[in-house]
Amino acid sequence: MDLKLILEVENLTVGTADGARPVLEGVGLKLHAGEIVGVYGETGAGKTVLSRALADWLPPGLSYRSGKVLFAGHDILDRRAGAGKAVIGRDIAYIGSKPQSAMDPTLPVGVQIVEKLRAVRPEWSPATCRDRVIQLLTEVRIPSPEERFHDYPSKFSGGMMQRVMIVDAIAAEPAVLIADNVTQPLDVTIGAQIVALLGDLAHRHRMGTVYLASSLATLSQFGGRTAVLGEGRIVEERPFADLIADPRTETTRRAIEAVPKIWAVGEKPPAPAVAPVPLMRIREATRTYRIRRRGTFNSYNAVQAVRGVSFDILTGENFGIVGESGCGKSTLTRLLAWLETPDAGAIELAGVSLAALSSRDLLAKRAEFQLLLQDPYNALPPRTTVGRMIEEGLRIRGEGGKGLRDKVLAAMAEVGLPARLYDQLPNTLSTGDRQRISIARALILSPRLLILDETLSSIDQREQAKLIDLFAGLQKKNDLTYVFISHDLAMVRKVCTRIAVMYLGKIVEIADNHDLFFAPRHPYTKALLSAAPTLEDKPFDAGEYLLEGEPPSPIDIPPGCSFASRCPLAFARCRAETPELREWRPGAFAACHLVETEAAAAAA
């Protein structure tokens, strides 16, 4: 490693204007060229404030109280010297955790990156900037980079958009990259790819990187010097292996205990459904969207989002659906919640076809199945009080009167919200409390089925554990059935009884919890498990199964098995014939020619 010191933080303290307790206090950190330094902190520890301070980009309402951030010996926080203006965006670059909102939706991504590059590197010609951007789009493994250069942000998945943001950050050849929780919103395979990509880029470009994360398991993939941030202070800083083997502070010990265990002995999955009776049936559900081709008026592409999906959700069970970004999970969620109707196939709830219901009957039936969304900030109206939000579902159904407030307060108490929040707006509430409001809004209608679309992915592991316990208690009390749509395999392992694995619009495997995590049959399932962020030894080697790139386009799905182009075990039949989802043992299904071949060999 090049031991040249390029960034040094000295006694950095950041606080609010009202003089309250500092958000960051006495923080010190050093970064060398080509080095990746990890910073761990749970929600509220000050990670994002630290990351923004290193780029001299503090959120409104915060200010520097003391300290320095030295780049090449110059303090970028010194307003008199003006050192920060010269280096931010060029020598020091920043990537955040919300790639989809980081760019102007009205301009192609390549055009935006070139504009920024021209601003910080005025000595480079437009042609040089364009060539540089296309070269980096290739380097971060975005397919067809010259074509994608002209695509708008809405055309990119979360994983691809995060790669675009990496290009945006490193295009000016920075010496320092600040990466703040960049894999938190991504599924495990794409997150593992991004972590590997950042490590490769840091080594190849000799770029010092500060990688901030709310998961120690994510930082384990770097394995270098790691700092633990607790209540705005760095409480411990050592090589990662030493930190895990011999934690010296309670904050570090708590962080290690919070890392989910997937395969550990003693981690028991939930019990199977009490009554193996289907509550919801999905049969050959298909959903295709028509997207206008760029540059045409009446020519369209067909996006095959969900392709002939069939499964049952049993009464009283926790059914999980996992898969990468772009696999069709969100579209399937909208079908299950009847926010969209399938082009073909059927969805039944308690034996009743949803398509056959009148508008009036459907409104009544909707109370039985409720959807909880991922983003509790955009899901809640900011100018509506908590009580008014929770009672809305009852008002839509004609309920009112004096008893309404009592029902709302009872629902709030059930999910752990204090009564004093009834007349408050949600703008001061934490992410966890916002999700509790969403849960109360659903529960007040006495549903039988809750569909949770990445509901727990936006909160830290400690708050997530509290909500998982809450869901378990509510299930026992109210006889609820859950569908968890998630990319968090550790959470799925902990709470789901049966799991379906989705790839490019199809279900490729369904199995009970133990079989899926210990004896999966489909290569794609093994790839997902190999990428799971954990401190455990994994039964599936990432070097053998970790996927590169993203699935084929749903506009142009190749013949045969749609996973064949990424499968390490594919053979000729896979590229010619589409495998069917077959039951290889009671209750276990897989869509893979290898499983059929193995079953035939065993029967011979």
Q: What is the CATH number of domain 278-368+448-463+477-603?
A: 3.40.50.300
Order of strands, sheet of 74-75, starting from the edge strand that comes earlier in the sequence: 24-32, 5-16, 62-71, 74-75
User: Whose structure tokens read 């520890």?
Assistant: 45
Q: What is the mean pLDDT of residues 307-333?
A: 93
Please indicate whether the domains covering 5-93+166-258 and 278-368+448-463+477-603 agree at the CATH topology level: yes
Mean pLDDT of 562-584: 93
Secondary element (H or E) of residue 344? strand 344-349
Q: What angle do CA 515, 518, 522 make, to 5 degrees?
A: 70
> 10 Å Cβ neighbour count for 151?
17
| Alpha helices per DSSP H over 208-309 | 216-219, 240-245, 250-258
Average pLDDT over the chain, rounded to an integer: 90
Structure confidence at residue 196 (pLDDT): 87
Q: Is the pLDDT of residue 141 over 60?
A: yes
SS3 content of the chain, % helix, strand, coil (to 5): 35, 25, 40
- Whole-model pTM: value is 0.80
> Between these two residues, 1 and 569, which has the higher pLDDT value?
569
For residues 451 and 337, is the Cβ–Cβ distance under 8 A? Answer: yes
Q: How far apart are CA 72 and CA 350, in angstroms?
A: 67
Q: Residue 137: enclosing H or E segment and its boundaries?
A: helix 126-139
Does position 352 have pLDDT exceeding 80, yes or no? yes
Quick check: 591 pLDDT over 50?
yes
Cβ-proximal residues to 52 (8 Å cutoff; 6+ apart), any chain = 58, 59, 94, 180
Tens of pLDDT along 13-66? 999 877 778 999 999 999 999 999 999 998 789 999 999 999 999 988 899 999
Task: Please say if the pLDDT value at position 267 is more than 70.
Answer: no
Kindly state the average pLDDT of the residues 234-244.
96
Q: In sequence order, which ranges of 300-457 are alpha helices (DSSP H)?
A: 329-336, 359-366, 386-396, 403-414, 431-443
Residue 53 CA to its chain's centroid (Å): 25
Task: List the single range of 152-156, 313-317, 526-530 with lowest mean pLDDT.
Answer: 152-156
Note the pLDDT tens digit of each residue in 373-408: 877 778 888 899 999 999 999 999 888 877 899 999
3 state SS of 14? strand
In whole angstroms, give the CA distance from residue 404 to residue 408: 6
Can you tell me whether residue 349 is helix, strand or coil? strand
Give the mean model confidence (pLDDT) for residues 263-283.
77
- CA–CA distance from 48 to each of 289, 345, 558 (Å)? 38, 46, 42
Residue spans per domain, the chain:
5-93+166-258, 278-368+448-463+477-603, 376-446
Q: Among 536, 602, 598, which Cα is nearest to 571's?
A: 598
What does the pLDDT read at residue 555? 86
Residue 540 has pLDDT above 90, yes or no: no
Q: Is the pLDDT higher at 198 or at 487?
A: 198
CATH (residue range 5-93+166-258): 3.40.50.300
Average pLDDT over residues 3-11: 94
248/235 Cα distance (integer angstroms): 9
DSSP category for residue 583? E
Are the C-beta atoms of residues 263 and 322 closer than 8 Å to each other? no
**Which range, 242-251, 287-296, 590-599, is most confident?**
242-251
Cα–Cα distance, 80 to 20 (Å, whole number): 27
Q: Which two tokens stand for residue 369?
A: 């199945």
The per-residue pLDDT for 1 is 46
* Pairwise CA distance, residues 280 & 450, whole Å: 11
Would you place residue 549 in the very low, low, confident or very high pLDDT band (cuts 50, 70, 90)? low
pLDDT at site 388: 95
DSSP H or E segment with residue 288: strand 278-292
Q: What is the pLDDT of residue 268?
A: 66
Q: What pLDDT was estimated at residue 275?
A: 60
Give the residue ranges of DSSP H helices in 176-328: 188-205, 216-219, 240-245, 250-258
Distance from C-alpha of 563 to C-alpha of 250, rounded to nearest angstrom = 45
The Cα–Cα gap between 532 and 542 comes to 9
Residue pair 545/523 in contact (Cβ under 8 Å)? The answer is yes
CA 145 to chain centroid, in Å, comes to 24
Q: Which phi and psi angles does 345 have, rounded to 5°?
A: 90, -175
At how many degrees (to 10) do helices 126-139 and 158-170 cross? 130
CA distance 290 to 293: 9
CA torsion sign for 45, 48, 52, 55 is positive
Instruction: Report percent pLDDT > 90 for the chain.
Output: 64
Q: Using 50, 70 and 90 to split pLDDT, how confident is the model at 594?
A: very high
Most confident of 153-157, 554-558, 575-579: 575-579
- More confident position, 480 or 59: 480
Residue 282 scores a pLDDT above 50: yes
Mention every residue, 6+ apart, whose C-beta is less than 8 A from residue 375.
458
Across-strand partners of 306? Answer: 287
Residue 274 has pLDDT above 70, yes or no: no
What is the sign, positive or negative, of the torsion defined by CA atoms of 562, 564, 570, 572? positive
- 3-class state of residue 474 by DSSP: helix
